[in-house]
Structure 1
């Protein structure tokens, strides 16, 4: 295909930092939102010419290959033009070579400065003695008016003085200073064999979007975009090591305020990005919807069945197979609440704490979906065992009022100190009220919550359908990643 391409028209593609592309064909510019669109335009041009098109791609942000020659076919295929060597940016020479050059110049200067005048036959210490033949050659060159090409003089051995050398003066005796014993406390960083925090690695090349495709296809080294770097930073926060197992409770006294949706997707984000043993559990005094919207299991056992048979669970994950429901690619487990008609006399605060104590030994992270009554012992037990709270509200007026009631209920239970380790997740409606959204944010910040995150409207979450993480809009995923990262920051 390279042989068919001609040098006319002159085509260039300049990649900007925001991944937009400016195509120039014979000095006529046209901008495209993405490289695929730009390649489509170039393929159309190649089709009109009925031959492949040569394109020179420029990426000013690349530190290694700022310019690459490509061939775009009439079918939209892109190959590297091997007939033109890729221009690589040569790294600038730094300190060591300059220091070496400076050292060589200094050495030469010293040699010239220490070379004795003609006719000198002996020197002491660091002076030099010129070779006799070399001196004669230098004189002949001088008389002939030619430059002196005589090699540098060889260093002479130091002249040994006659007579006994004077005895060196005795060195004064040094009095050793007293050495105080070093006191080392347990955990002192001076005795640690390994650093607790690894040094940050240099930013890796782009792996996503067009830049990631370019790097993978042409073995290039394009830098990641600011958006990709922000995603990496969020994922690093979510993956941060924790020193113990943790529990989070999602609370809001209003029914239908997205508690179950937020609880599941926080757990799924942990499962997909962090991994490990993650549980989304429903401890509800009323029938919940977690079991209905999550993937079905091979059984219909619930929290009530686990509580009834708690004495048979021996803190092994194999004992929980009969009660939990794996969630496929989300890599979490779900423990659902019993149906409305079940006997709930054994589902109380005491049994919830007993079940949580067993589950906490088996799961690294537990996200609890709670009920709608601050007076229920199950709700109080969930708030009590939680290390952090996740308050939720939709962008609705009644959600705001009941959010205030939820905050007062947590305060009444004596857990106001947890606000500093808790977050608020606001879910927008199809037509969000910007003034009310601002009030919700201001309220969350005013009571001392660690973070307030807004989840955009997503139709797949608003119609009561089964949860499908893959169906979420990219902005919704990003919001849940930010909420999960903010929550992990507090654990």
Structure 2
């Protein structure tokens, strides 16, 4: 059957949902389940309509990626209407997405038949010859059935596209070391958790060389919630060795003696000593600068887990050394007020601190499963005062114990990815 005589079905796509209009004009709502592509659902539904009608139907889709038309045969074969360049079996789309082989090009052309086979493309002239080298695509959507659907204008979904964009942001490498300070003057509001999660997201997607630094005079707990490395060392051990690590002959592996590598999440932790009083581990401005020189020599990204003493030299110097501020708070009035007061104080400190406060990322975490409304209320109070406000849903894996990205719920992982992408935008 030609395109001109094919009966039409329609689909309007909005994110993971769609409205499918049958040959009889009946609207059917569809929603993609977890791990399912709404566009594959639509193609399968159109194939079922073609089988029921015992004739080909034209599928017209509208939505996130514009208008597209494909012809769906009663046996499940599909091809684009405009160019008739691709025929595949719907079953092949699903099999390809699972890593199985789809029919060969010869089989596809045989399915087209001699009357509908695409004409060969003319040879390009020497002046317009296309390159045989294609740009590499690391996206998961570049493989299998999803790639075939994408080439037909049927993918990816909006949620998939947003996730891929966030992953590209956090996986890029900048020239020179970038640093972000996680700050809130109140304890127990999620600074350590936020530091660890950001370091994990950037290290997992960008390939390591990420440091989580416990910049805390008063019993910092980053070391308690992360893995112990081969050596029981802290920032106090690193400081006297700084000159050796900065020497031209220093080996890159020398830093491993002073940090604690996270084997799964791929970042390193520079610990403070939670067993010492603040008076025994204060770090002056010049000492901080020396440590920062070491960090910049061996790492491309540094995330500071700050203490609560906003007057300490190391705290102030941390702010001066940061490209981005991340302000965590729980969905409760006291930690939120503490965060707001800190931002106000930074705006009055100097011009650079004011810029950092205005471009800060506020992260509101639901500490209990029944607090989404409270979290939204807190988030709404910060909107318009900082660059971005993001929420982290309740996840029991964040409340206590070791901080590991892969034990979080998928929705929580996606939320941290969005936070990391917002931070990357400030780098």
Q: Match for residue 6 of structure 2?
A: none
Q: State the Cα distance separating 1:376 from its structure 2 match.
A: 2.5
- Identify which of 140, 143, 146 aligns with 1:207: 140
- Identify which of 76, 81, 84 aligns with 1:56: 76
Question: Unpaired runs of 5+ in structure 1?
Answer: 1-12, 43-53, 97-200
Q: Match for residue 372 of structure 1?
A: 308
Q: Match for residue 335 of structure 1?
A: 270
2:358 corresponds to 1:358: no
Normalised to the residue count of structure 1, the TM-score between the two structures is: 0.60
Contact conserved, 2:167 with 2:417, CA < 8 A, in 1?
yes
Contact conserved, 1:67 with 1:86, CA < 8 A, in 2?
no
2:367 corresponds to 1:434: no
Counterpart CA distance in 2 for 1:354 and 1:260 is: 23
Q: Deviations over 1:247-283 (max 9, x none)?
A: 2110011111110111111111111122352111101
Alignment of 1:288-299 (within 5 A): 288-299=220-231
Query: In structure 2, do the counterparts of structure 1 residues 452 and 77 end up closer, same or farther at CA, with 3 Å as the change threshold?
Result: closer
Q: Match for residue 398 of structure 2?
A: 461
Q: Match for residue 324 of structure 2?
A: 388
Normalised to the residue count of structure 2, the TM-score between the two structures is: 0.68
- Which structure has more RCO (C-alpha within 8 Å, separation ≥ 6)? 2
Counterpart CA distance in 1 for 2:234 and 2:345 is: 27
- Identify which of 255, 265, 282 aligns with 1:347: 282
- Identify which of 345, 363, 367 aligns with 1:425: 363
Counterpart CA distance in 2 for 1:488 and 1:219 is: 27
Contact conserved, 2:218 with 2:277, CA < 8 A, in 1?
no
Secondary structure class of the residue paired with 1:290:
coil
Q: Deviations over 1:196-254 (max 9, x none)?
A: xxxxx99979835xx96535899986632222222222223224453432221100111
Q: State the Cα distance separating 1:14 from its structure 2 match.
A: 10
Query: In structure 2, do the counterparts of structure 1 residues 78 and 411 end up closer, same or farther at CA, with 3 Å as the change threshold?
Result: closer
Counterpart CA distance in 1 for 2:322 and 2:99 is: 55
- Identify which of 177, 191, 195 aligns with 1:259: 191
Q: Deviations over 1:269-323 (max 9, x none)?
A: 1111223521111010111221121122112211121124334333543331111
Counterpart CA distance in 1 for 2:16 and 2:112 is: 21
Contact conserved, 2:219 with 2:272, CA < 8 A, in 1?
yes
Point out the structure with max Rg over C-alpha.
1
Question: Unpaired runs of 5+ in structure 2?
Answer: 1-8, 46-73, 125-133
RMSD of aligned residue pairs (Cα, Å): 4.7
Q: Match for residue 171 of structure 1?
A: none
